[in-house]
Amino acid sequence: MENAPRMKRRIVVVCLSLAGLLVAALANPAVPQKPPTRTFDWNENHDLKKWLTDNESTLRRGDACTLTFWWMDEEHADGPSGSRHELTTFVIVPADEESTRVIHDPKSSLDIRVGARYSPGDSKSSYLLQLAIAFEGTAADVFDEVDRAQAEALRYPGWRSLTVVKPARVGHELYTFSLSCQNGSEYLNGWQRRLSRPHDKAPKQ
């Protein structure tokens, strides 16, 4: 009977240890995390054909969004200016509901916040698609930014595209950033047709 208190103490310690393990398990459930949306960056990967193949299923169900920019030197009207440059292309699907990210532009040194958001439409196959662009801040707040540029359109089977544009002045250079989301199937089919032609190649920076 002299060992009874010691045994009780052991039981309490074991129970506390099990409780700690249970709390840790609940805080970090062993549930497979949803992989991030694939991003194709023209500056880092020029294998467009492989990217299209890897993302074909997602493109068939969703949309392809491309961030581009062009710039001009306002101080010297006859000076240098830039043609349209593609910063990145990413794929989104309505099931994601919302996708936001920050993309750095090395030319202007700006961090561009972009977002795409789907809301249920007036039928099972339609959605309200909203796009937003803002600068310098966290990606999650892009739709709440007072100074954002925003556009919206009804997305339904067979829809085409939606674009939002926002300018920014850096020194004496004026930049215009454009986020354009296109029907994923049309985007995929268009590139597949172009790449099937011997004289057409993927764009290069």
> For every one of its 205 residues, what pLDDT tens digit does the chain have, with 9 covering 90 and above?
445 555 444 444 334 443 443 334 334 444 333 344 445 554 455 678 888 888 899 999 999 999 999 988 877 666 656 778 889 999 999 998 999 999 999 999 999 999 999 999 888 889 999 999 999 889 999 999 999 999 999 999 889 999 999 999 998 889 999 999 999 999 999 999 998 887 655 555 4
pLDDT of residue 31: 38
Q: Whose CA is closest to 72, among 2, 169, 147?
A: 169
By CB atoms closer than 10 A (0-12, 13-18, 19+), residue 112 is: buried
Q: Hey, CA dihedral for 62, 190, 44, 71, is it positive or negative?
A: negative
Q: Quote the CA–CA distance of 178 and 67 in Å, as a whole number.
A: 6
pLDDT of residue 148: 96
pLDDT of residue 168: 95
